[in-house]
Amino acid sequence: MRSLFGKIFLWLLGTSLLPVAAFMATSSYFLPSGQAPAFLPIYLWTLLGTAVLGYLVAINLVRPLRSLRRTVEQFGRGDLTARTGSLRKDEIGGLSRAFDRMAERIETLLTAERRLLQDVSHELRSPLARLRFAVELARTDGDREEALTHIAKDVERLANLVDELLQLTRAEGDPSSQDLHVIPLNDLLRSLVADCGLEAEARHRRLALKVDGSAIVLGERELIRRAVENVLRNAIHYAPEGTTVEIVMTLVAEVATITVRDRGPGIPDEWLGQIFKPFFRVDNDRARTSGGVGLGLSIAQRAISLHQGKVEARNANPGLIVTIELPHAKGLAGRDAVLPAVGAGSFKP
Ligand SMILES: Nc1ncnc2c1ncn2[C@@H]1O[C@H](COP(=O)(O)OP(=O)(O)OP(=O)(O)O)[C@@H](O)[C@H]1O
Ligand SMILES: [Mg+2]
């Protein structure tokens, strides 16, 4: 019997035997003496059967409800992974599964909120540090105008960053809220390499960009830019002085592939799968010297997978190769329009 109704019905049927049995037992008093004992065992057995049936039904109903209550309490205490995992086919099973779905959704939303908080604080750090420096400069240095220009630039950047992170979280929750741009990847890479080139030069590393084909990606320019920038900045950071970081873009079979290769220490093979996880850093010494917190690659991965792409890393001995693959938006080359968010439904490779 699958439904709760069925069980209750069965239980009622069982208990209804009780008065029948009682009637049969009492009616024996009206029967000629000597026959009464023949009904007594029937009565007793019926009574026993009804009691057992009633107990089984009650246990069957109460046990899953108790387990559901325990799971709800566990979830309420903050264990967001608590689930009933019920396989029952009746109404209690349905209720348990509805709870599991609700818990799943709440866990996803809360995790996304926490990640947003981590990402925001991480990404705000560098512009804030520069701002502090610029304010100090404005106080002590004569050239206030220049310091103010720096401050204005960083304030602008902070505003952009907040927008971008909010956009990333919103888009993860609801892909249809994305504003889609036609992004020529070649231009994006050229401007990125020009921007990062100054930093690389200051650290005595070179950047070499090689572009093969003209790839177009449909998506959010800032997110893609940020993803590649995080990978490139890592490469510049870990590349030894005097070496070149190579950035290559190819377009093969409608897939645009960007590889960033440095000649640094690479990553121990057992950690390769971990570096895209938030806050993962290969060793703590590096953390102390580089000041990074280990969010750059996780932000990059989220941004790229949002565009139906993927990021991977492998050792090149020497150095690390990080590969970013993105679907080429064939047929949109030459267009530069910003597609409205409602067009997001067509944003599939
Ligand atoms: N090109 C690279 N060569 C060697 N190790 C790397 C390279 N790129 C990343 N890693 C390792 O992967 C870890 C995670 O990188 P990720 O960019 O996520 O964080 P981070 O650079 O430490 O900090 P940030 O959040 O400032 O980017 C790094 O701490 C580093 O140990
Ligand atoms: Mg980094």
pLDDT at 177: 64
Report the separation in Å between the CA atom of 133 and the middle of ligand 1, taken as the mean of its atom positions: 25
The mean pLDDT value for 40-69 works out to 80
Q: Tell me the chain's radius of gyration from C-alpha atoms.
A: 34
pLDDT at residue 336 tops 80: no
* 322 Cβ contact partners less than 8 Å away, ≥ 6 residues apart: 231, 234, 235, 259, 260, 261, 311, 312, 313
Q: Which residue has the higher pLDDT, 93 or 15?
A: 93
Tell how far the Cα of 230 is from the centroid of ligand 1, in angstroms. Answer: 9
Tell me, in angstroms, the distance from the centre of ligand 1 to residue 12's CA: 67
Between 10 and 214, residue with greater pLDDT: 214
**pLDDT > 70? residue 237:** yes
Longest dimension (CA), the chain: 124
Query: Mean of the per-residue pLDDT values for the chain?
Result: 81
Q: Is 292 in the pocket of ligand 1 (CB under 6 A)?
A: yes
**In the prediction, which pLDDT does 333 show?**
62
What is the structure's pLDDT at 235?
96
Q: Please tell me if the CB atom of residue 259 comes closer than 6 angstroms to any atom of ligand 1.
A: no
Average pLDDT over residues 222-233: 91
Q: How confident is the model at residue 24 (pLDDT cuts 50, 70, 90)?
A: low
Q: Tell me what percent of the residues of the chain surpass a pLDDT of 90.
A: 36
Coil/strand/helix, residue 164: helix
Average pLDDT (297-317) is: 92
Confidence of residue 242 (pLDDT cuts 50, 70, 90): very high
> Which of these, 287, 299, 305, lies nearest to 116 by C-alpha position?
299
Shortest-distance atom of ligand 1 to CA 282? 31
pLDDT at 178: 66
> Cα–Cα distance between 10 and 42 in angstroms, integer?
20
Q: Please tell me the predicted confidence (pLDDT) of residue 115.
A: 75
Counting ligands in written order, which one lies closest to the CA of residue 265? 1
Pick from 36, 45, 92, 102: nearest CA to 69: 92
Q: Which ligand is nearest to the CA of 301?
A: 1
pLDDT value at position 348?
Answer: 34
Residue 35 binned pLDDT confidence (cut-offs 50, 70, 90) = low
Closest by CA to 212, choosing from 256, 249, 183, 184, is 249
Residue nearest to atom 7 of ligand 1 (CA): 234
Ligand positioned closest to the Cα atom of 283: 1
Mutate to test the pocket of ligand 1, among 246, 263, 281, 324 (most ligand atoms within 8 A of CB): 281
Specify the higher pLDDT residue, 244 or 43: 244
**What CATH code is assigned to 179-346?**
3.30.565.10
**Measured between alpha carbons, how far is 249 from 259 in angstroms, rounded to an integer?**
7
Select the more confidently predicted residue: 264 or 31: 264
- What was the pLDDT predicted at 164? 64
Which of 59-73, 251-265, 297-311 reaches the highest mean pLDDT?
Answer: 251-265
Which residues share a beta bridge with 182? 218
Atom 28 in ligand 1: residue holding the nearest Cα: 281
pLDDT digits (tens, 9 = 90+) for 95-115: 999 999 999 999 988 887 787
Residue, of 91 and 142, whose pLDDT is higher = 91
Tokens 């002085």, residue located: 241
- Cα 179 to Cα 176, 192, 348: the distances in Å are 8, 21, 14
Mean pLDDT for 2-12 is 68
Quick check: 29 pLDDT over 50?
yes
Ligand 1 atom 29 nearest Cα: 281
Please indicate whether residue 14 or residue 121 has the higher confidence score (pLDDT).
121
Per residue in 64-74, pLDDT (tens digit) is 898 999 999 99
Please report the pLDDT score of residue 48 as a whole number.
Answer: 80
- What are the sequence ranges of the domains in the chain? 4-82, 117-173, 179-346
The least confident of 118-132, 167-181, 194-208, 267-281 is 167-181
Q: How far is the CA of 259 from the centre of ligand 2 (A)?
A: 16
User: How remote is the CA of residue 260 from the centroid of ligand 1, in Å?
Assistant: 13
Instruction: Choose between 218 and 296: higher pLDDT.
Output: 218
Give residue 148's pLDDT band: very low, low, confident or very high (50, 70, 90): confident
Confidence class of residue 55 from pLDDT cuts 50, 70 and 90? confident
CB atoms within 10 A of CB 65: 12
Structure tokens at 340: 């409205």
**CA 203 – CA 199 distance, rounded (Å):** 6
- pLDDT score recorded for residue 155: 86
- Cα 227 to averaged position of ligand 1 atoms, centre (Å): 13
